[in-house]
């Protein structure tokens, strides 16, 4: 989008209607629901093209990378398909020049006060269920100086929170510097003037760089928050999933993280119903969740991915069993989350406000990432006002399983 703007081509992230003359659809190809959403969006704009509403339809991203030959054959009305690393080719199709002086600059498509900062692309892990390496290729780290430049640019645009993301942030730096260099990156991003929160996502547990914990503890603007996808709580299943670790090692790592960064909120994701998952394996996962008491948890039923090792295995757990297991884990998590939240009643929390909705100012603490985690709700009254994108001190007065309620103090 920044490159197009630099070529004086008007561009909108998501048009309110179908009236744009050229449409570029960036797709996901990872799970069935995302694939279907991508296909539905493509077909919507193909129909708009047939009706003469739009002139051209281009498709990019993971679905194109993974299924290009099939898509070309099935949807010939699309003018061109591009993979995940073809920005120069997209620009060429749009008759735009690639401007190297725009490197490090970008348009913000989230709310203006927070932004995602991708620190690497691709993944070298051999997880049996995952198709990301097929779509995104090998791990490639973005150099520290480029990321600092991007962070400075975003801060100058008013961004206050940076969410560091990658397919595998734990691996950061190995390809560039011959060592895991996430700690140095975190420190330099934390030192960027204007950035008040730095949040780390998608840290792979195997080979976890423990030196980042000291950096997190030393810098108050690095959120006491860690997104670390663990996927299962049974050693047997972790082996089948090719995760390179055991339950015992995982629990030891979680305990070490909590010891070195007090009050940290750990977010994780788990998969139920992977081929070979027995009742005993699931019972072990239940025990794992009950013991670890994660502050944030997402649970996903397994679905086959083409050309993965797990995809060659018999999908022997019935769909209704997968759904039941997911619901059981989330029911357990509701009780855990409610207990965590109840402990916050009476405390004062620094809250970043994202929006106004249904009579509430809605914000987040440092323990919560946008869209996926808990929220803080403050009633909108004649005597209460806070600007969206601002921080404020909030006294927590009540709590439910996934929300906090409070009153403004300043």
Residues in the annotated binding site for [4Fe-4S] cluster: 123, 127, 130
Nearest-angstrom CA–CA distance, 78 and 59:
7
3-state secondary structure of 22: strand
Phi, psi values for residue 194, rounded to 5°: 100, -20
Residues 9 and 80: their CA atoms lie apart, in Å, by: 19
Annotated binding site: 123, 127, 130
Write the DSSP string, 266-316.
Answer: EEEEEEES-TT--HHHHHHHHHHHHHH--SEEEEEE----TTSTGGGS---
Distance, CA of 400 to CA of 313 (rounded, Å): 41
3-class DSSP assignment, residue 201: coil
Nearest to 116 by CA among 165, 80, 68: 165
How many H-runs (helices) and E-runs (strands) does the chain carry? 13, 16
- Under 8 Å between Cβ of 213 and 261: yes
φ and ψ at 360, to 5 degrees? -130, 145
CA distance 137 to 20: 32
DSSP E strand boundaries for 35-77: 56-61
Helix (H) or strand (E) holding 120: strand 120-121
Task: Please name which of 132, 171, 136 lies closest in space to residue 308, comparing C-alpha atoms.
Answer: 132
Q: Collapse the DSSP code of 2 into the 3-class scheme (helix H, G, I; strand E, B; otherwise coil) and give the result.
A: helix
Distance of CA 327 to CAs 262, 282, 323, Å?
Answer: 30, 12, 6
CB 81 within 8 A of CB 60: yes
Cβ within 8 Å of residue 262, ≥6 positions away: 217, 224
């Amino acid at each position: 989008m920044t490159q197009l703007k630099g070529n004086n081509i008007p561009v909108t992230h998501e048009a309110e209607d179908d009236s744009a003359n050229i449409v570029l659809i960036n797709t996901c190809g990872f799970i069935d629901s995302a694939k279907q959403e991508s296909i539905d969006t493509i077909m919507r704009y193909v129909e708009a093209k047939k009706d003469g509403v739009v002139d051209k339809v281009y498709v990019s991203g993971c679905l194109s990378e993974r299924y290009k030959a099939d898509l070309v054959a099935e949807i010939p009305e699309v003018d061109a398909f591009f993979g995940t690393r073809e920005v120069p080719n997209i620009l060429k199709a749009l008759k735009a020049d690639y401007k190297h002086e725009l490197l490090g600059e970008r348009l913000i498509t989230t709310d203006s006060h927070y932004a995602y900062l991708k620190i690497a692309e691709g993944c070298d892990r051999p997880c049996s269920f995952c198709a990301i390496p097929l779509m995104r290729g090998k791990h490639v780290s973005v150099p520290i100086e480029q990321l600092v430049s991007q962070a400075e640019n975003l801060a100058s645009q008013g961004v206050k929170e940076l969410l560091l993301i990658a397919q595998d942030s734990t691996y950061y730096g190995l390809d560039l510097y011959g060592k895991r260099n996430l700690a140095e990156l975190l420190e330099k991003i934390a030192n960027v003037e204007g950035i008040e929160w730095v949040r780390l996502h998608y840290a792979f547990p195997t080979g976890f760089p423990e030196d980042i914990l000291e950096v997190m503890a030393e810098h108050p603007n690095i959120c006491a928050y860690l997104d670390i996808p663990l996927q299962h709580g049974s050693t047997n299943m972790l082996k089948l999933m090719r995760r390179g670790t055991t339950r015992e090692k995982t629990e030891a790592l979680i305990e070490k993280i909590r010891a070195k960064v007090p009050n940290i909120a750990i977010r994780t994701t788990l998969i139920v119903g992977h081929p070979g998952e027995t009742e005993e394996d699931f019972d072990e996962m239940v025990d794992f969740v009950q013991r670890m008491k994660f502050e944030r948890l997402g649970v996903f039923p397994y679905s086959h991915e083409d050309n993965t090792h797990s995809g060659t295995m018999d999908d022997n757990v019935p769909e209704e069993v997968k759904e039941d297991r997911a619901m059981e884990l989330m029911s357990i998590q509701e009780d855990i989350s409610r207990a965590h939240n109840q402990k916050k009643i009476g405390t004062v929390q620094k809250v970043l406000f994202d929006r106004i909705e249904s009579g509430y100012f809605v914000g987040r603490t440092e323990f919560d990432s946008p869209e996926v985690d808990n929220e803080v709700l403050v009633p909108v009254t004649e005597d209460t006002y806070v600007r969206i994108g601002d921080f404020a001190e909030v006294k927590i007065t009540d709590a439910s399983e996934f929300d906090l309620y409070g009153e403004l103090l300043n």
